[in-house]
Amino acid sequence: MITYQNIHKAFDLPVLSGVDFRVETGEMFALFGPSGTGKSVLLKTTIGLMAPDRGDVVIDGISVFGGGRGAVQAVREKVGYVFQNSALFDSLDVLDNVTMGLPEDELARLSRADAGRRVWDALEIVNLEPREVLAKIPSELSGGMKKRVGIARAIVGRPDILLWDEPTTGLDPVNTAAVERLIKRLSDELEVTSLLVTHDVEGGLDMCDRVAMLDGGTLRFCGTPEEFRACPDPVVQAFVDRAAAEAALDMVSQSYV
């Protein structure tokens, strides 16, 4: 379970102003919001990549910002993080990139063959053919393949929680649908808690058990997809309408490509 407690963060201007919500164990949770509302900042605070000015994140009883370096390390071992632009290590091949996802102490215990098998399995789970991609470096992969390798790296350590930072950004509709199916399948099969930050509102509403919306640094909505669609709040409605219009535009423009 992930609990966000009164998170405040400002750079030059306030980005997050007292965000409170909880993601239950095993739940698939989507976080929406216009650009610049602090969704990715919130995700980064979850594992201590960014420290809030005030507030705390508690993961399965571990306080990320109240427990020192040991707590941060313990949390990071529980969590797999899928970055927006994959963030694969340029100089390493796919094998080494995915191997990096194994916790250091586990990697030290595993034989080379066992570590290789774990990497192989992770790549198969994300529908990549290991034999074809293992020796490639990131610049030799397509955008969709990079995303999948990034996902393989996040799941190879068998995390309890997966954080997804806009996993479909920059993908064409075909790859977007494929990655969304993959996210849903992984969350079901691996029985992990998933927190998904996305601009793809329709995809998020279809996949997730609960959703929330950030607006102006505060939580504007938190509830089920059905409640979100029926929410009378004009800001939420405007966001849903705009997202639907953008999705329709995407489909139309795609049909001309």
Partner 1 sequence: MKRRSLLQVLAGAVTQWFAGFGRTAQVTAEHAGQLGLLSWRVAVVIARLKVSTRDIRTQMYVMGVQSLPIVFVTAALSGIVTSQQGGYQLVSSSPSYVLGALVVQSVVLELGPLLTAIVLVGRIGARITAELGTMVVSEQIDAFESLGRDPIAILAAPRVIAGVITMPLLVGFADMIGVTAGMITANIDVKLGPETFLFGARLFWHSWDLFYGFTKAVVFGLTIPLISVHMGLRTKGGAEGVGLTTTQAVMFMILTILILDAMFPPLMLQ
**Considering beta carbons, is residue 55 or 138 the nearer one to partner 1?**
138
Q: Which two tokens stand for residue 140?
A: 């030799």
Question: Shortest gap between Cβ of 49 and partner 1 (angstroms)?
Answer: 5
Q: Which one, 164 or 221, has the nearer CB to partner 1? A: 164
Q: Rounded CA gap, 143 and 170, in Å?
A: 8
Residue 153 vs 210, nearer CB to partner 1:
153
Written as six digits, the tokens of 116 are 């290789």
39-45 CB contacts, 8 Å cutoff, 24+ apart: 39/197, 39/214, 40/84, 40/165, 40/166, 40/197, 41/9, 41/15, 41/16, 42/4, 42/7, 42/16, 42/197, 42/214, 43/81, 43/163, 43/165, 43/195, 43/197, 45/4, 45/7, 45/9
**Which residue lies nearer to partner 1 by CB, 98 or 125?**
98
Question: 145, 133 in Cβ contact below 8 A?
Answer: yes
Rounded least distance, CB 137 to partner 1, Å: 13
**Site of interaction with partner 1 (CB under 8 A):** 44, 47-49, 73, 76-77, 79, 81, 83-85, 87-90, 100-101, 103-104, 153, 157
Residue that has been written with the tokens 């309890």 in this structure = 160
* Minimum CB–partner distance for residue 54 and partner 1 (Å): 22
Q: Which is nearer to partner 1, 11 or 256 (CB)?
A: 11
Torsions phi, psi for 58 (to 5 deg): -115, 125
Shortest separation between residue 107's beta carbon and partner 1, angstroms: 10
Please say which residue, 75 or 205, places its beta carbon nearer to partner 1: 75
To the nearest whole angstrom, how small is the minimum distance from the Cβ of residue 82 to partner 1? Answer: 10
What's 223's DSSP letter?
A: E
Inter-residue contact 77 to 157 (CB < 8 Å):
yes
Tell me the closest approach of the beta carbon of residue 80 to partner 1, in angstroms. 8
